[in-house]
Structure 1
Amino acid sequence: MTILVEFAPVLLKGTLITIALTVGGSLVALAMAFVTGLTRLSKRWYLRMIATVYLEIFRGTSALVQLFWIFFVLPFAGITLEPIAAGILAIGLNMGSYGSEVVRGAVLSIDKGQREAAIALNYSPYQRMRHVILPQAIPVMLPTFGNQGIELLKLTSVVSLITISDLTFSGQLVRSATGHTFEPLMAIMVIYFILATLIVQLVNLLEKRMSRGRSGLAARGAS
């Protein structure tokens, strides 16, 4: 325990960097998931093709290789990113490819009658998606997004390979400096578990709020 107290600032800094990577990566992943998932439902074949190419590349290759490409190869094309920006982008693009299938599946699961009713009300395609389909599809997405959020949290550990002192890297620093293995590795395991639990609680809270909102709309509709 004395070791952990002595190196607590190192672990704290690593934890904060991991949280920043998780939040930033989640925002990129959500954006790409919705853009790609909805684009794959487009009537325009070239948009579907672009979305499919992105999906297959990032879902079919290693996240580590993607990270190395973004950080080490893009500079040859004149695009240089800071390590943490490269990490957020790589993690977000990777997880966004998986999330896009969640979005697409949830949208397709909405009853056809809902779409027909929106068309009958003369809603534009944007209005149908914004006011009818997505409000019903998002609660369907949330449980899977919660699981993917945890996977994204764990994926942040790969960024230590491009000189980012995340939680895993910080634990390894403590281990190298002290010669002790059990204490630092147990500490980072507990911290990862706490962060994952917080993600689960956040998703559960969102699910409850969305469920209350849908229940209220249903009650008003019945009256």
Structure 2
Amino acid sequence: MNDWSGYLLLILKGAQTTVELTVMGTALALVMAFMAGLGRLSRFVVVRSLATSYIEFFRGTSVFVQLFWAYFVLPMVGFTLTPLQAGVLALGLNVGAYGAEVVRGAVVAIGEEQRNACIALNLSRYQRMRHVILPQALPLMLPTFGNNAIELLKGTAVVSLISLGDMTFQAQVVRSQTGNTLIPFATILALYFAMACLIGFGMRKLERRMSLGLDGMRR
């Protein structure tokens, strides 16, 4: 690479990896958030205990340590992961633990009158959750989910520690090869900001769309 256009392509290649990490990590985080969040509301003590243990463990330990465990320790017990898989696993489980409390709080926030109406209609627990509670709780979750997705995006920088070529890793490569710090890190700063703005815009649009007709449901 003889000019800055080549270095820019290198950073953009890293941006692709960052997007992959963000999308897959967010998908895993959403699954874990709903499983653990609803698990904490379960009637069964074992399910509640497992959900609580997961949430407290991943909120109470560093994502750096979780990433190193996923990439360096799991192979010792027979689970070998690629750097990308380790990054998705660590980030998804970590952010999912925070999202679980968002799910639990939003479900609990639905008024008691809604639950009483479900009981009066003889709806099962699944029917109440599926058709009445979650449709009203989901718009309450979306703003915080958006913040969590942005935090996950920014957290993808930790994967550079296991030599995965995300934006931060590639910026460090460019800096080491050119001796210039300003240009590569200003570039990834702008890229992170643009991606965060895109996530925020998408979540606000989704929130408005899902809120349509919600007032009528609550009446």
TM-score bracket for the superposition, by shorter chain length: over 0.9
Q: State the match for 1:175 in structure 2.
A: 175
Distance 1:166 1:106 in 2: 34
Q: CA deviation at 1:5?
A: 2.1
2:207 paired with 1:207? yes
Where does the alignment leave 5 or more consecutive residues of structure 1 unmatched? Answer: none
Contact 1:26 1:149 in 2 (8 A): yes
Instruction: Map 1:46-195; keep pairs closer than 5 Å.
Output: 46-195=46-195
Instruction: Please give the alpha-carbon distance, in whole angstroms, between the structure 2 residues aligned to 1:3 and 1:194.
Output: 24
Cα distance, 1:148 vs structure 2: 0.8
- The Cα offsets for residues 71-99 of structure 1, whole Å up to 9 and x where unpaired, read as 11111111111110110010000000000
TM-superposition CA deviations, 1:69-126 (whole Å, max 9, x none):
1111111111111110110010000000000000000000000110111111111111
1:38-49 correspondence to structure 2 within 5 Å? 38-49=38-49
Deviation at 1:188, TM superposition (A): 0.4
| Percent of residue pairs identical | 56
The answer as to whether partners of 1:4 and 1:183 remain within 8 angstroms in 2 is no
Alpha-carbon distance between aligned partners in 1 of 2:3 and 2:92, rounded to the nearest angstrom: 34
Distance 1:3 1:193 in 2: 25
| Closer, same or farther: CA 75–118 of 1 in aligned 2, 3 Å | same
- Corresponding residue pairs, total: 218
1:36 counterpart letter in structure 2: A
Following superposition, which runs of at least 4 residues in structure 1 exceed 3 angstroms of deviation? none
Task: Report the Cα offset of residue 15 of structure 1.
Answer: 0.3
Deviation at 1:59, TM superposition (A): 0.3
Q: Distance between the aligned counterparts of 2:192 and 2:186, measured in 1?
A: 10
User: Which residue identity lines up with residue 91 of structure 1 in the other structure?
Assistant: L
Q: TM-score, normalised by structure 1?
A: 0.94
SS at 2:22's partner residue?
helix
> Secondary structure of 1:79's partner?
coil
Which amino acid in 2 is paired with 1:37?
Answer: G
Deviation at 1:161, TM superposition (A): 1.0
CA distance 1:52–1:189, shift in 2 (3 Å): same
Q: Report the AA paired with residue 48 of structure 1.
A: R
The alpha carbon displacement at 1:6 in A equals 2.8
Aligned to 1:9: 9
Contact 1:22 1:152 in 2 (8 A): yes
- Structure 2: tracts of 5 or more residues without a match: none
